[in-house]
């Protein structure tokens, strides 16, 4: 195979993001054959915009087609694990958006998920979903590419190079993804999102932190350094009474049963630690930042905002339709005008790696293990926040879940 033939699934935010970054690869590494989405009109709109020859209104229509090698899943999180399993059974490679999966309370009414189900049950079922995905992939021998762009973001790649040459020990990491709230309806409730700010936004920095400790361990001893335990707090800041009374809301406040703020401490087996924060209540454009304190160096990663271009305008209309940065409330005043936001966030690099992997048969830099470990860390954090104490992960063995074992 020298050209990867892809079926896109989903036609909104993430699908646009992927398609605008496949643009540089189309025709020589990848081809987009069809877009499938629940809303046919949206699929048609996306197909027109990105010059895709066909549309379908059901993901399953892609599975028995011989002219599709891989599906790219840009659908709400509750569909990820089922779609991955179905694609694997049909022998299609999978590119899957973050997070891999979670707990969704399939058999429960919507209002009885996020607020009514204990986090231990959620933790167990989220891990069982991971296991089911892993089993289907193993059986089918397809490849799984986990669309975690932080792993490919040039600032993070540079950080890894600096880590490698410094030979320092990572002592402490502080990482964050925050903004003023998601546009997507699925994100408002646990039943479709599987969690709030921590799962949807925090999945990025959590994956980056896990990846870096794994990388450090491989460099030094040939095996990754594992997460040992987590402690966390979650909050719903949009429920604060004085906020509720404010007439103008600058941040999204339509959250139903999901948290809009979270902070977790990740304790690694070598004694190092990371603090990860995620919030849907942060104005001023998306924040994707990370500081790594090594024993002999400090590296500050500013994916967003970064000051490659700092631009000022006395009124918002002056910069017209020109893009400045994601989730920015106003173009007035001083702003960080990212010249190529997708590039600095790692999207084209991620998709190129996936294309190369699926064509050549090698494993992607961001794959199944990272996807599963991220779910495990975050659901342990939910359990910790509920119990008000640290959750040890050691009992869960080297894999994701050890049958019969239970998190404390
Ligand atoms: N990596 C990133 O930076 C990033 C950014 C945004 C979203 N995401 C992830 O992408 C996923 C989608 O998020 P989004 O913001 O695009 O959501 P969205 O609501 O904007 O779009 C979801 C799309 O899925 C389609 N869909 C829903 N049910 C379907 C079904 N049964 N069959 C086929 N299509 C179906 C909808 O029609 C829609 O086109 C989420 O898991 C999210 O976490 C990742």
**Structural domains of the chain in order of their starting residue, each with its CATH number:** 4-149 (3.40.50.720), 150-349+375-396 (3.30.360.10)
Whole-number pLDDT of residue 141: 87
Of the pLDDT bands very low, low, confident and very high (cuts 50, 70, 90), residue 398 is very low
Measure the CA–CA gap between 12 and 345, rounded to whole angstroms. Answer: 19
Whole-number pLDDT of residue 108: 85
Ligand 1 atom closest to the Cα of residue 80 is 41
Ligand 1 atom closest to the Cα of residue 46 is 39
Residues 6+ apart with CB under 8 A from 95: 6, 18, 70, 71, 72, 73, 145, 147, 351, 354
Measure the CA–CA gap between 113 and 188, rounded to whole angstroms. Answer: 12
Judge contact between 261 and 235, C-beta under 8 A: yes
Ligand 1 atom closest to the Cα of residue 36 is 33
Asked if the model's pLDDT at residue 369 lies above 80, the reply is: yes
Q: What is the mean pLDDT of residues 22-41?
A: 95
Judge contact between 260 and 229, C-beta under 8 A: no
Asked if the model's pLDDT at residue 300 lies above 90, the reply is: yes
Q: What is the pTM of this model?
A: 0.96
Q: Hey, which bits of 295-336 come out as E strands? A: 298-304, 310-313, 333-336
Of the pLDDT bands very low, low, confident and very high (cuts 50, 70, 90), residue 395 is low
Whole-number pLDDT of residue 397: 43
Whole-number pLDDT of residue 237: 97
Ligand 1 atom closest to the Cα of residue 186 is 19
Would you report the helix, strand and coil content of the chain in percent, each value rounded to 5? 40, 20, 40
Whole-number pLDDT of residue 112: 75
Asked if the model's pLDDT at residue 241 lies above 70, the reply is: yes
Ligand 1 atom closest to the Cα of residue 11 is 39
Asked if the model's pLDDT at residue 224 lies above 80, the reply is: yes
Whole-number pLDDT of residue 113: 85
Distance (Å) from CA 35 to ligand 1 centroid:
13
Whole-number pLDDT of residue 248: 96
pLDDT-wise least confident of 28-42, 87-101, 221-235, 388-402: 388-402
Asked if the model's pLDDT at residue 2 lies above 80, the reply is: yes
For a pocket test of ligand 1, which of 7, 11, 14 has the largest count of ligand atoms closer than 8 A to its C-beta? Answer: 14
Q: Which residues line ligand 1 (CB under 6 A)?
A: 9-14, 17, 36-39, 42, 59, 74-77, 79, 97-98, 147, 149, 184, 186, 200
Whole-number pLDDT of residue 396: 55
Residue indicated by tokens 């950080």? 159
Whole-number pLDDT of residue 404: 43
Distance (Å) from CA 37 to ligand 1 centroid:
10
- Residue closest by Cα to atom 37 of ligand 1: 38
Whole-number pLDDT of residue 403: 44
């Amino acid at each position: 195979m020298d050209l990867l033939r892809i079926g896109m699934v989903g036609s909104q935010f993430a699908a646009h993001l992927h398609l605008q970054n496949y643009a540089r690869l189309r025709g020589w590494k990848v081809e987009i054959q069809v877009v499938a989405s629940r809303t046919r009109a949206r699929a048609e709109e996306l197909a027109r915009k990105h010059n895709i020859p066909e549309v379908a209104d059901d993901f399953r229509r892609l599975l028995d087609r011989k002219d599709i090698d891989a599906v790219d899943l840009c659908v709400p999180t509750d569909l990820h694990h089922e779609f991955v399993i179905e694609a694997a059974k049909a022998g299609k490679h999978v590119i899957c958006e973050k997070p891999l999966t979670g707990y969704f309370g399939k058999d429960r009414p919507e209002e009885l998920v996020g607020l009514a189900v204990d986090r231990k049950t959620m933790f167990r079922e989220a891990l069982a979903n991971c296991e089911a995905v892993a089993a289907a992939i193993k059986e089918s021998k397809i490849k799984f590419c986990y669309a975690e762009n932080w792993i490919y973001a040039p600032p993070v790649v540079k950080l890894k190079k600096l880590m490698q040459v410094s030979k320092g020990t990572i002592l402490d990491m502080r990482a964050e993804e925050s903004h003023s709230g998601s546009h997507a309806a699925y994100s408002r409730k646990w039943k479709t999102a599987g969690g709030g700010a921590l799962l949807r936004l925090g999945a990025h920095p959590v994956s980056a932190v896990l990846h870096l400790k794994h990388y450090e361990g491989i460099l030094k001893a040939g095996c990754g350094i594992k997460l040992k335990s987590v402690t966390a707090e979650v909050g719903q800041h949009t429920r604060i009474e004085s906020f509720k009374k404010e007439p103008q809301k600058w941040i999204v406040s339509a959250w139903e049963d999901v948290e809009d703020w979270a902070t977790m401490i990740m304790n690694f087996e070598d004694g190092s630690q990371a603090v990860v924060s995620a919030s849907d209540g942060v104005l001023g454009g998306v924040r994707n930042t990370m500081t790594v304190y090594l024993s002999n160096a400090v590296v500050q990663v500013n994916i967003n905002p970064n000051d490659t271009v700092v631009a000022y305008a006395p009124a918002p209309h002056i910069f017209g339709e020109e893009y400045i940065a994601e989730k920015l409330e106003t173009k007035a005043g001083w702003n960080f005008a990212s010249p190529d936001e997708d590039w600095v966030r790692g999207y084209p690099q991620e998709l190129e790696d996936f294309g190369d992997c699926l064509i050549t048969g090698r494993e992607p830099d961001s794959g199944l293990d990272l996807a599963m470990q991220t779910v495990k860390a975050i659901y342990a954090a939910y359990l910790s926040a509920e119990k008000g104490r640290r959750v040890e992960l050691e009992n869960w063995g080297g894999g994701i879940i050890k049958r019969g074992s239970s998190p404390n």
